Amino acid sequence: VEFSIAVLSGDGIGPEVTAEGVKALEAVGRAFGHTFNLEYGDVGGISIDKHGTPLTTEVRELAGAADAVLFGAVGGPKWDDPSATVRPEDGLLQLRSHLGVFANIRPVKVYPNLVESSVLKPEVLEGVDMVVVRELTGGLYYAEPKGRHQTPQGWTGVDTMRYSEGEIERVLRVGFELARGRRKKLASIDKANVLECSRLWRQIATRLGEEYPDVELEHVLVDACAMQLIQRPAHFDVIVAENTFGDILTDEAAVLSASMGLLPSASLADVPIEGRRIPGFAPDIAGQGIANPVASTLSVALMLRYSLGLTEEAASVERSVEMALDAGHRTPDIAVEGTHRVSTTEMGDLIANAIAP
């Protein structure tokens, strides 16, 4: 079977880890007889430097025409000037909006042999296996009015949180459906004690819960959720949150798995998935060959499963990752005494070489 894949590696460690994800994808092609036609494009800071914009029309069209998109990461200190008129992250937001990818899925699983690499106590991490669903195209990151203006009292910055009933319902349905196929527990995250958007969110979650009587629905305030993620993370099965809350909580959840480099990510537009994001541009370690490519590789597995419908192939990638970790191979971010420290490309080779039907 033949597929077209847009590869947008981005900035920082994006090109390094995406290259290892591509390596795994090509290994899948050889093992299972598929052809993946890869087309590359610039996005984020590198696109600003080359083209003056974080997302060109050509790359937008490339992504829209592809069967799936492999997205690296964008941003870095070079482009962090608060007064800049264009920012790398604008390219990511524009791409999400263009593709209509409204729900980000991030599985958070603690591998037993990586417990010692986490900063948390082993007993806290026992049984952690959750999925965080984050709304991607609404809320503070997109709603208008937005901007800064000068007043007699000084500058004022404005961001608007706005959600429609339809936007909330569709992402909550993703969470309910995922929970139905897992442990049948859904935690709906809001700030209903303060925010009107959250009160609407909770109201819709409650109504949808009646359609899913087999799923245990729990309403959790976002600050309480942030605390519980560290205190008793195994309590959670599926978490659904709006854009800003989900952005923060998914990064916090990386602490559970020991490294951002272990958390894959997939972004859905209805179904199937049209794109995905690898977390963390990590400019401080770019180019040193020490970045962890596991998240990128596992994101390829999510792409195979959801975007392309290749379930067996996705499982083979996931098995290969587990084999490499079980054998004691570690990039520096998760290495501990007694493990074998490897580089980014070495870890990528170990995983790709183990992929088989």
List 133's β-bridge partners, or say none. Answer: 105, 240
What DSSP character marks residue 22?
H
Q: Helix 14-32 vs helix 344-354: angle between axes, to the nearest 10 degrees?
A: 10
Q: Measured in whole angstroms, how far is the alpha carbon of residue 343 from the centre of its chain?
A: 23
> Tokens 């009107």, residue?
196
What DSSP character marks residue 35?
E
CA 139, 131, 72, 96 torsion: positive or negative? negative
Burial 271-286 (b: 16+ CB within 10 A, else e): eebbbbbbbbbbbebb
Burial 126-152 (b: 16+ CB within 10 A, else e): eebebbbbbbbbbbbbbeeeeeeeeee
Active-site residue identified among 11, 111, 190, 191? 191
Active-site residue identified among 163, 212, 247, 306? 247
Give catalytic status of residue 163 as yes or no. Answer: no
State how far the Cα of 6 lies from the Cα of 39, in Å rounded to an integer.
Answer: 5
Active-site residue identified among 90, 129, 159, 251? 251
Give catalytic status of residue 223 as yes or no. Answer: yes
Bond from prior residue into 145 cis (ω within 30 degrees of 0): yes
State how far the Cα of 314 lies from the Cα of 332, in Å rounded to an integer.
Answer: 26
Give catalytic status of residue 191 as yes or no. Answer: yes
List 70's β-bridge partners, or say none. Answer: 7, 276
List 241's β-bridge partners, or say none. Answer: 134
Q: Measured in whole angstroms, how far is the alpha carbon of residue 45 from the centre of its chain?
A: 19
Active-site residue identified among 49, 80, 223, 284? 223
State how far the Cα of 36 lies from the Cα of 149, in Å rounded to an integer.
Answer: 48
State how far the Cα of 169 lies from the Cα of 259, in Å rounded to an integer.
Answer: 32
Active-site residue identified among 42, 111, 141, 237? 141
- Decide if 324 contacts 317 (C-beta within 8 A): no
Give catalytic status of residue 212 as yes or no. Answer: no
Could you give the residue numbers annotated as active site?
Answer: 141, 191, 223, 247, 251
